[in-house]
Amino acid sequence: DGELETMEERERVIVRMYFFKTMTLKQIGVMLDVTESRVSQILSQTMKILKTRLGPVMEQEAERIAAALRKKD
């Protein structure tokens, strides 16, 4: 949730509604008084930012897990 705190409020709300409350884009749009298309645009932009920020962290974690698995063999 740390990366979410660096986002704009509306971006955080959309990510939380979509991924944690499993709401549809249409439902989110109704709640935020924006179009479903706009919610999709915001979510897409936000996911690109998160992937850029979290990509290196995820790669490091994958390497750590792979190394641990190799030690077990």
Query: Residue 4's closest CA among 40, 37, 49?
Result: 49
Band of pLDDT at residue 3, cut at 50, 70 and 90: low
Show Cβ contacts of residue 34 under 8 Å, excluding neighbours closer than 6 positions.
Answer: none
> In the structure encoding, which two tokens stand for residue 7, read together?
């986002």
Band of pLDDT at residue 72, cut at 50, 70 and 90: confident
pLDDT of 73 reads 63
Q: Which residue has the higher pLDDT, 34 or 1?
A: 34
Show Cβ contacts of residue 41 under 8 Å, excluding neighbours closer than 6 positions.
Answer: none
C-alpha–C-alpha distance, residues 4 and 46, integer Å: 10
Report pLDDT digits (tens) over 37-63. 999 999 999 988 888 888 888 888 888
Per the CB < 8 A criterion, the answer to whether 32 and 39 are in contact is yes
